[in-house]
Structure 1
Amino acid sequence: MNIAIIPARGGSKRLPGKNIKDLAGKPMIAWTIEAALDSGVFDYVFVSTDSEDIAIISKDFGAEVPFLRPDEISTDIATTNDVVTHLVEWFEEEYNREVITVAILQPTSPLRNAQHIQEAFKVMKDMHAKAVISVCELEHPIQFCNKLDLDGSMNGFIDSKNIKRTQDLEPYYRLNGAIYLFGRSYVNSLKSLYSKGTYSYIMDSSASIDIDTKEDFKLAEFFKTNGV
């Protein structure tokens, strides 16, 4: 069985209520639920939440929410690994079916769509991958980044060999948080995802907004509203 897990806690310190905040006419989490369902690659789309409000809205948009998270995986220190392991083990016991592939789809990536999910699955198939993780190119060259001393000195801030035109520098990529796709063997060991057999799925930066702040939310709303 292929299952999608959308982890959505009720609490958010920087942007309260963000998972169900109206984004271009829908609760933010609805965009991820609809993308997962429309992709047609999952047997079940689950939302894991500790919030009754999120649960109700998620069900309204077609996701399965069989329970509210137990207290022990609803704290600030609970990890995505804890959430995924709990749901997968519950599913296999409750349904008596083996999970083959799991996707973590964070609701804070509302510009990730059904096509992105389908293409990530295609990478997994074509590369015979154990896992596929979405990335995007860094918006600014990492070669132009460094730490600063306490006094703010920029002595040696940029290596002389990197003083080039941006287009002449080797591109670097970052995790964008939109898609984590992996086989059953990684459940309860997500820290080992970044290893041999894991491949990237490259997304445009415009589809890679990960909402954490009001500014992120406004930008995502602009893109959604204007079809960017």
Structure 2
Amino acid sequence: MAAARKPTIQGFEDEIDGKTKMIKDSGEKRHIAALILARGGSKGIPLKNIKVLAGVPLIRWVLRAAVDSKQFDSVWVSTDHDDIEKVAKAWGAQVHRRRPEVSKDSSSSLDTIQEFAQLNPEVNVICHIQATSPCLHPFHLKEALELITNQGFTSVVTVARQHHFRWQEVKKGGSVATKPLNVDPSNRPRRQDWDGELCENRSFYIYTRATIEEGLQGGKWAYYEMRPEYSVDIDVDIDWPVAELKVLRFGYFGLDKMVRLLLCNISGCLTDGRVLISVSGEEMISVNTRDTMGICMLQREGVEVILISSSEDLLTEALTDKLSKRTGCEVRQLSKDIQSKVKAMMDDRDLDWKEVAYMGSDAPDVDCLNLAGLSAVPRDAPVVAINAAKYCCSSVAGLGAVREFSEHILLFKKDKSQME
């Protein structure tokens, strides 16, 4: 039996198969939760939910969109794996530690969602976001949730328009003829003459508590159409490079992250940390032209770049002077308490941490890597620095890592119309 929804003084009532469930609305604020399911036992790509995609763990892409949408009273990751739990908490999510009974290969998403709903009775609406949808944007979530909060639907499914002609599957080697399912072969339409079909793109689903408790039976369903460029799903290894290209072009890179200052370590970032000594005793360092071009790109876009060194670096004053002239950057030596010295530079420029990008390479940089609006480390940085950074470069120190991070910073400066 289809669900009926009628307004009451307190909100809405969902009537499913003759049973009435109260869904609080305008009279009392409903608790809307985002729930990302991230089981550790992925067979296609082991631990794919935290595998690094375009510099950050895969699950971070949807967490960023959920948090920045400002639509949710709570954001959760449901997992059975310690490493996924650590990543989720590091990026600000609460963790639902699912029971082994709902963590099997045979367990359905609904099993886990129902368990979460039972353990969190204050939640009235659950937005189940797929961790494998890295091109999700906040505006998708906001517009889809309005179908629940403003238009009275009890469930929302995301779809994308596809233009595929489908044929009936038949057993191989048999004599049974196939037949078209959605096309007349004698009158095959051109793409521009056919609207196509709406197919689930598995980006996210939204359900009221009543719908979940009834096993998704009945209710009033709506679909939310997403453009194809935002429809990315990752199941097997071959999907990964395609998803990385798509997310770099169509992904959501954050809210109000307009970087005005980049602080970049010389040793371990701009250089590989080595100081070469010639036979005559002359000291030399190697700097990649790709990295210096990355610095120039930022400077042309109005981003100030300051190169930093420490007393532990084996860099002479003559070397830092030459580097300053070649890059057009001021060089600062920061020894102990790097964070306070960086904060002093920010105060001089009237900057907040969200307007600062920081590129470091080791334990002394951890505090600044955590605090900066954008932060990065080269691929060969130690684990302590990688865990603190918001972006891990695919390039190593001295061989394009600074250029890569520069391009990442510039993605945040794209015109908003390009992002949405």
TM bin (shorter chain): 0.7 to 0.9
Are residue 51 (structure 1) and residue 74 (structure 2) matched?
no
Give the distance between the partners of 1:101 and 1:211, measured in 2 at CA. 26
- Using structure 2 for the length normalisation, give the TM-score: 0.49
Give the distance between the partners of 2:242 and 2:214, measured in 1 at CA. 34
Superposition deviation, residue 148 in structure 1: 3.9
**One-letter amino acid matched to 2:98:** R
Preserved contact between residue 230 and residue 250 of structure 2 (Cα < 8 Å):
no
Are residue 212 (structure 1) and residue 235 (structure 2) matched?
yes
Give the distance between the partners of 1:45 and 1:206, measured in 2 at CA. 25
- Using structure 1 for the length normalisation, give the TM-score: 0.87
Partner of 2:97: 68
Q: What's the RMSD between the two structures over aligned residues?
A: 2.1
Structure richer in helix, relative to its length:
1
Label 1:197 to 1:59 Cα distance change in 2 as closer, same or farther (>3 A): same
Question: In terms of Rg, which structure is larger?
Answer: 2
3-state SS of the aligned residue for 1:173?
strand
3-state SS of the aligned residue for 2:94?
coil
Aligned equivalent of 2:55, options 25, 40, 57: 25
Partner of 2:32: 2
Structure 2 stretches of 5 or more lacking a match?
1-30, 252-420
Equivalent residue runs for 1:1-228 within 5 Å: 1-65=31-95, 67-92=96-121, 97=122, 99-138=123-162, 140-142=163-165, 144-151=166-173, 157-158=179-180, 159-160=184-185, 162-192=187-217, 195=218, 197-227=220-250
Partner of 2:22: none
**One-letter amino acid matched to 2:220:** G
Q: Work out the percentage of aligned pairs sharing the same amino acid.
A: 33
Give the distance between the partners of 1:115 and 1:128, measured in 2 at CA. 19
Preserved contact between residue 229 and residue 250 of structure 2 (Cα < 8 Å):
no
Label 1:22 to 1:153 Cα distance change in 2 as closer, same or farther (>3 A): farther
3-state SS of the aligned residue for 1:105?
strand
Give the distance between the partners of 1:209 and 1:112, measured in 2 at CA. 9
The ranges of structure 1 where at least 4 consecutive aligned residues each deviate by more than 6 angstroms after the TM superposition are: none
Label 1:131 to 1:45 Cα distance change in 2 as closer, same or farther (>3 A): same
3-state SS of the aligned residue for 1:177?
strand
Preserved contact between residue 141 and residue 169 of structure 1 (Cα < 8 Å):
no
Structure richer in strand, relative to its length:
2
Preserved contact between residue 167 and residue 178 of structure 2 (Cα < 8 Å):
no
Give the distance between the partners of 2:235 and 2:75, measured in 1 at CA. 23
Higher RCO (CA 8 Å, separation ≥ 6 residues): 1
